[in-house]
Each structure stands twice: as structure tokens, then as C-alpha cells.
Amino acid sequence: MGKILEIESVYAGYNNDVVLNDVSLEIFDDDFIGIIGPNGGGKTTLLNVILGLIKPFKGSVRFFDDIQSERNNKIGYLPQINKIDKKFPITVKEVVLTGLIYGSKGIFKRYTKSEKTKATETLKRIGICDIKDTAIGELSGGQMQKVLLARALVSSPRLLILDEPNTFVDNQFEGELYEILKELNNEMAIIIVSHDLGTISSYVKTIACVNRNLHYHKSNKISEEQLASYNCPIKLITHGEVPHTVLHKHPH
Amino acid sequence: MISELLEYKFIVNSLLAGILASVSCGIIGTYIVTRRMVFLSGGITHSSFGGIGIGYYLGFNPIIFAAIFGVFSALGIEFISKRSNIREDSVIGILWSFGMAVGIMFVFLTPGYAPNLMSYLFGSILTVSNLDIYLMFGLSIVLILVFAFFYRTIVFISYDQEFARTHKIAVSLINYLLIGLVALTIVLNIKVVGIILVISLLTIPQSIANLFTKNFRNIIIVSIVIGLIGAFLGLIISYKINIPSGASIIFSLVMIFLIAKSFQLIQGNLSLKKQKI
């Protein structure tokens, strides 16, 4: 178990608005962390800080074990699906190949044979090799998520970051996705952001709750205190012998 | 008839202009359409009229000033919309009308009547000069080189900018480079179809191509071919019934679009029937 990422007393946000307030987090190479929290609480901001999309106002983000450097990218990222233009003229395989372009050196290059083989292998692994020449506009929500997952995985990351991968997909896909992630967790650390804490809590190892501050619980049990940070009732699946859905305090 | 026509220099120039317009608009138009920058391009087009007005007033080639105006407003829109709190489409709206206002002011300040003004608004492929041809040729070469060398990066950024940023690609730099090329393409094609109509050369061929192919590279190639067909058809119509070439070129392109769309619908229906059988 080695440390790969350390966030230390980070303050971050947009313009002059501080969204993250003194957040610290350590990530190890076998972690499977579910990040939950209310909308606007800073889940995406935290991801943006880790991904280097925004610079923190204060505090530090440090990578260990060469997981990110000028030449090397060992962070795989799956963005929210609604940020993607579904009409863009590009095929599944082309999308996955873009996951291999990294840094200023990649700008001029063309894809090599070994890169193409790698893309095909990743597509096979996720089980979508049969649609590799399909235009993305013709895919279902679940297929699209798998394509984005393949793009995140094609560079063999050590840390996989997923932003709300369970939106716009059916329950069957959701189950499939978590099985894939469970297997991937043997090779890499995983951070998954979700608003639906019920389902993720049965798969992740630990849960972090982001609501301007960060509460990190080194278990996947959800406490009353975490529930209290939500103002709306949430779907919760209990960890009994028979999983079932329980609705807490329903004012509507 | 054809060998006779080719003896006239203006016919040769207009044919060359048609070919070069198809190439440059085929490439840049694909970028504009896939990145949904059509409104932005409209803004750049109209703001470049400010440059044309200033060029008129000072007695220089208006296209040079239009190019300067167009490139600066393009870079300005890109810069302001990323950095300030103003909405991007509002910035475009402001520059759109500001450019037109500056243009009209200077045209009216210029003594005498401006006889060529109509040719900038509605295009006049028959009055394309040698300098225009050289500029369009240079632009086409630059575009081919940029899109050949940066192809996969351009597609990468156009598809998912944020993801490209996480991969440490110089996204802003490439955005600025491409928006500058968008502005130059628009301005140099103003002579061919005019300010009011230039957006059509950047969108209609691409929309037709996109009916038949879902690949970025193929859309570029098919758009160029369709642009060529539209330009030649339009030139013939313009010559036969003596109307401005810009209008007849766009009319031809829209007709091709309608034919292609109906063809696609009929084909779709047929294959549905086959499936049912």
C-alpha cells in the first residue's frame, strides 16, 4: 500500500468564491473512495483540483510514485456524460485513442500501431469491441459511459477518477459498471463521485463527504451525520442480508 | 463555349476563387460546425465590415483592414468570454453590431458614392483580383498544413476540451490559432459570396456531408467537393440570368441540401420496409 496523492489544506473555488475550505485527503494505490455530498458542495471542484484543471488558492496537491509528470499520465478521467457533444463526428475507437494523446509532444504525432492495438484491447476488456467503428451519436447512454471509461483506461492509469458515471444509465448498466470497477480496483486506485450514495456505498471501500469541508470516513457505512448534510431525502440501500431501499424523512 | 469563356481573365479568376473558397471553407467550416461556433462566425463576419469601412475611408484595399478587424474581434471574443463574467453570446452580439456600425460610419464619411460596397455585402466572384487569388491560395495551403499536422489534436480538443486539458494539451493556444484562421477564412471569402452570405459556405456543405458521413476527415473532404459543385452551378446560373454570384451559389447549395435530405429520407424508409419484410 503506497501513497499516490496527498492533498493538504487546500482552499479552492472559482473567481472569488471559495468552494473548498481547508480540505486534506490522502489517497493510496488500492483505495476505492466514494465522494458524496450535496450539489454545489464542491465535489466537482475537488476533482478539478486533483486533475489540475483549477489551481488551489492555498494549500498543496502532491503526486507520488511518478503518477503524474511532464511525460507521464497515470490519471484516468471519466467526465460527466452531459458535458459531451453527442453529435460530434467521431467513432468509438477514435474517442478511445484520444486518451493516449498526452502533453505537448503528442500534438504532431499520428497514432502508432501499438497505440491502436492498445485501444482495441481496452475496448475488448470493457466489452464494446463490436461497436468500435460506430459513431458516438448512435450509442445509448450506457454504451457512451463505457466508451468514456475505455478512454480513461487506455493509458493504463494508476488512479481512476469518475464523475457521476451512474447518471442517465439504466440499473443493469450500473451493476455492470460496478463489477468492472471492482475488478479494476485490483490494479488501480479509484475515486468515484456520486449524488446517489445508496448504491455506491455497497461497492466502495471508504466514503468521503464533501460539503465545503471534507469528512473522510475510513469505512463504507453511512452515518446519520453524513445524511444530515443533505437537505433532501435520499435513496439508501441498507447493508443487510437482503438489500432494499429505504426512504428517510420524506417531507414532500 | 467553354474554351471561349476561359479566354476571359475574370472567368478564370472566378473559377479559381470558387475552387479555393471550397477548399478553405470546407476545412474551416467543418471545425465551425462540429464545435457549434456558427453564431461566433457570424459575429466575426459582420464585425469585419468595420475594417472594410475604414479601408474605404483611407483609400486602401478594404480586405486587408477587414482581415485585421476580423482577427482582432475573433481573438477578443475568445479572450473576453473565457476571462470575464460577460456571456460569450452577448460579447458576440456587441462586436457584431459594433463592427457594422463602424463600417457604416466610415462609408458615409467617405466623400462620393461607394459603388463597390454592394460587392462586399453580397459578394462578386467576377471581380476577384489577382491579389485576392494569391491570398486565398496562401490561406488554403496554411489550412491544409495545419489540419494535416495537428489533425488528431484538433479533433481531440474539439470533441472534449476539458479532457484535453487534463492531458496537458495547450488547449488555449490551439483555440487562439484556430479562431484566427476562422477569421482569415471568413474575410478572404467575403469577396466570393459577401458578408451576408459567407456563413452559408461554412455551414451548408458540412450539413450535407454530415448526412452521409460521421467522420471529421470525411466531412472535410465531402464538403470541399459539394462546395465545388455549388460554386460551379452558381457561377453558371449567375452568368446565364445575370444575378449576383453569391446568391446563386447559395441557392444551388441549398437545393443540393434539399435533394440530399430527401434522398436520405427515401433511403431510410426503404431500408425500414426491408427490415419489416
pLDDT tens-digit series, residues A113-154: 999 999 999 999 988 999 999 999 999 888 999 999 999 999
The structural domains of chain A, with segments of one domain joined by +, span 3-247
Domain A3-247 class, CATH top level: alpha beta
Largest CA distance in chain A: 59
Question: A92 CA to chain B: closest CA distance, Å?
Answer: 11
Residues of chain A with C-beta less than 8 angstroms from the C-beta of B152? 97-98, 101, 109-111
Residues of chain A with C-beta less than 8 angstroms from the C-beta of B167? 73, 99, 101-103, 106
Cα four-point dihedral sign B241, B243, B244, B249: negative
What does pLDDT average to over chain B? 89
| CB-CB under 8 Å, A89 with B168 | no
- pTM as predicted: 0.87
pLDDT tens-digit series, residues A68-107: 666 667 899 999 988 889 999 999 999 999 999 888 777 7
Alpha-carbon distances, residue A92 vs A123, A133, B216, B251, B254 (angstroms) = 9, 6, 13, 36, 31
| Residue pair A162/A196 in contact by the 8 Å Cβ criterion | no
What is the spatial distance between Cα B258 and Cα A165, in angstroms, rounded to a whole number?
Answer: 40
DSSP string, B207-232: HHHHHH---HHHHHHHHHHHHHHHHH
Query: If you compute the radius of gyration of chain A from its CA atoms, what whole number of angstroms results?
Result: 19
DSSP string, chain B: -HHHHHTSHHHHHHHHHHHHHHHHHHHHHHHHHHTT-HHHHHHHHHHHHHHHHHHHHHTS-HHHHHHHHHHHHHHHHHHHHHHSSS-HHHHHHHHHHHHHHHHHHHHHHSSS--TTHHHHHH--GGG--HHHHHHHHHHHHHHHHHHHHSHHHHHHHHH-HHHHHHTT--HHHHHHHHHHHHHHHHHHTHHHH-TTTHHHHHHHHHHHHHHH---HHHHHHHHHHHHHHHHHHHHHHHHHHT--HHHHHHHHHHHHHHHHHHHHHHHHHHHHHHHH-
Name the residue facing A89 among B162, B166, B219 (closest C-beta): B219
| CB-CB under 8 Å, B158 with A97 | no
Would the pLDDT of A241 be above 70? no
Determine which of A101, A111, A159 to mutate to test the interface with B (most B C-beta atoms within 10 Å).
Answer: A101
Residues of chain A with C-beta less than 8 angstroms from the C-beta of B163? 77, 79, 98, 151
| CB-CB under 8 Å, B215 with A90 | yes
Determine which of B159, B219, B223 to mutate to test the interface with A (most A C-beta atoms within 10 Å).
Answer: B159
Residues of chain B with C-beta less than 8 angstroms from the C-beta of A150? none
| CB-CB under 8 Å, B167 with A102 | yes
Report how many Cβ contacts below 8 Å link chain A to chain B.
83
What is the spatial distance between Cα A184 and Cα A154, in angstroms, rounded to a whole number?
Answer: 13
pLDDT tens-digit series, residues B177-213: 999 999 999 999 998 888 888 999 999 999 999 999 9
| CB-CB under 8 Å, A73 with B167 | yes
ipTM over 0.90: no
The boundaries of the domain holding residue B247 are 2-276
Residues of chain A with C-beta less than 8 angstroms from the C-beta of B162? 53, 79, 83
pLDDT for B4 equals 66
Residues of chain A with C-beta less than 8 angstroms from the C-beta of B169? 101-104, 106-107
Residues of chain B with C-beta less than 8 angstroms from the C-beta of A53? 162, 165-166
| CB-CB under 8 Å, B159 with A90 | yes
Would the pLDDT of A226 be above 60? no
Q: What's the per-residue H, E or C state across chain A?
A: CCEEEEEEEEEEEECCEEEEEEEEEEEECCCEEEEECCCCCCHHHHHHHHHCCCCCCEEEEEECCCCECCCCECEEEECCHHHCCCCCCCEHHHHHHHCCCCCHHHHCCCCCHHHHHHHHHHHHHHCCHHHCCCEHHHCCHHHHHHHHHHHHHCCCCCEEEEECCCCCCCHHHHHHHHHHHHHHCCCCEEEEECCCHHHHHCCCCEEEEEECEEEEECCCCCCHHHHHCCCCCCEEECCCCCCCEEECCCCC
Pairing of strands A189-193, A17-28: unpaired
Name the residue facing B156 among A70, A75, A98 (closest C-beta): A98
Return the CATH number at B81. 1.10.3470.10
Residues of chain B with C-beta less than 8 angstroms from the C-beta of A151? 163
pLDDT tens-digit series, residues B42-76: 999 999 999 999 998 998 888 889 999 899 999 99
| CB-CB under 8 Å, B158 with A137 | no
| CB-CB under 8 Å, B168 with A70 | yes
Determine which of A55, A80, A82, A90 to mutate to test the interface with B (most B C-beta atoms within 10 Å).
Answer: A90
| CB-CB under 8 Å, B155 with A107 | no
pLDDT tens-digit series, residues B87-128: 888 889 999 999 999 999 998 898 877 667 777 888 888 788
What is the tally of structural domains in chain B?
Answer: 1
